[in-house]
Amino acid sequence: DAQTSEESDVKTSPLPTEAARNAFKKKKHRFCIDLDPRLMLSRGSLVDLLIRMDVGRYLEFRGIPSMFTVSSSSSSSARRKDSKTTTTSSSPTSKCYSMWTVPVSRSIVFKDPSLSLSDKRVLMRLMQAIQGKERATSEQKRKETASVLEQHMDKPFKDYLTAVKAPHRLQSMIMYSLVGADKEQFEQRTNRSKSSLLLTRTAITRLKLLLSSLGRYGPGAYLYPSYGTGEVPQAFTRLCAVHGGIYLLRFKPTVLVLENDDGEEQE
C-alpha cells in the first residue's frame, strides 16, 4: 500500500528531554511563535496604509533578506551536486527534499549555482520583460519576446512559462515562491476547468509588485512585524485610543454613518 510505504519513510521525532525543556525555557524570550504569520510586501497596500495613517510608528519590522523553497524528487533519481540542502531517507524508494534559494533579484540569479544557464536566461528575460527593460540582441527579438507575453495575457501563466521553455522545477519556483499561487492555480486537475488556473495578467501584476518592493526597506521585498502579525491590529487600537475612539473586538458593523461639512448625517 502506497500510503503505508510513505508513512514508513517518515521517522517520528523523539520527545524532548528534560534538559532540552530547561534550555528551551531559558531562551523563551529570544524568539516569538506566530500562530498566523503573514509577510507584507514593502510596496503592498497594507504597508502604504500603515504609512498613510501614521500607524507604523507603533510597530517594529524586520526585513526578510532571502527566501527559500523546498522541492521533492525520488531519491533513486540523480541528485544535483549544486543543491543547497538535501535531506534523504534510508529507503531507496523514498523522496529526497532539496532547498533552493528563490531567485528574486538579478544578483541572486547570477550567483545561484543551482540554476543552469538556460534557467538564468529564462528568469532574466521574464524580469526584464515585466519591468519593460528587455535587452534583446536585435529589435526583432525584443518584439518577439513582448509578443509572446502579450499573447498569453489572458491565458494561464503556466502556458506562458511553457512557451518560454521554463523547466518544470523553475515553473514551480516561480509560481509558488514568486507569484504566490496555490496548487489549484498551477496544476490543472482532470475534473476542473482551466478557469481555476492563474492567468498571466494576474501573475504579471503580482511580479511587478514583488520586484518594485525590492530594496525599499533593505535588500529583500518582504517585511515582518518583529513581535508577530498580531501587533498590526493592536497598532490600530492604539491610534484609535489616541483620537478618543473605542475599539471593539469580534464585532461587525451593521451600518456606517457619515457626517458631511454641514453636520448632516447619512448612512
pLDDT in tens, 91-131: 545 567 777 788 887 788 888 887 888 888 888 888 877 77
Give the predicted TM-score (pTM) of the model: 0.69
Name the amino acid, one letter, at 123: L
Partnered with residue 199 across adjacent β-strands are: 156
Provide the pLDDT for residue 45. 92
The pLDDT of residue 215? 87
Give the residue with greater pLDDT, 240 vs 260. 240
pLDDT of residue 194: 61
- What is the secondary structure of 114-171 as a DSSP string? TS-HHHHHHHHHHHHHHHT----SSHHHHHHHHHHHHHTTTSBHHHHHHHTT--HHHH
The 10s digit of each residue's pLDDT in 63-101 is 988 888 877 654 434 344 444 444 444 454 556 777 778
Q: What is the DSSP letter of 29?
A: G
At 263 the pLDDT is 63
The confidence band for 261, taking pLDDT boundaries of 50, 70 and 90, is low
Q: What tens digit of pLDDT does each residue of 175-232 get?
A: 888 888 887 777 765 455 566 788 889 999 999 999 899 888 888 899 999 888 989 9
pLDDT of 86: 44
Q: Please give the Cα distance from 72 to 241 (Å, whole number).
A: 50
Cβ within 8 Å of residue 255, ≥6 positions away: 267
- DSSP classification of residue 227: T
The tens digit of pLDDT for each residue in 128-142 reads 777 765 454 455 555
Output the pLDDT for position 121.
86
pLDDT tens-digit map of 28-65: 888 778 888 889 999 999 999 999 988 888 899 999 88
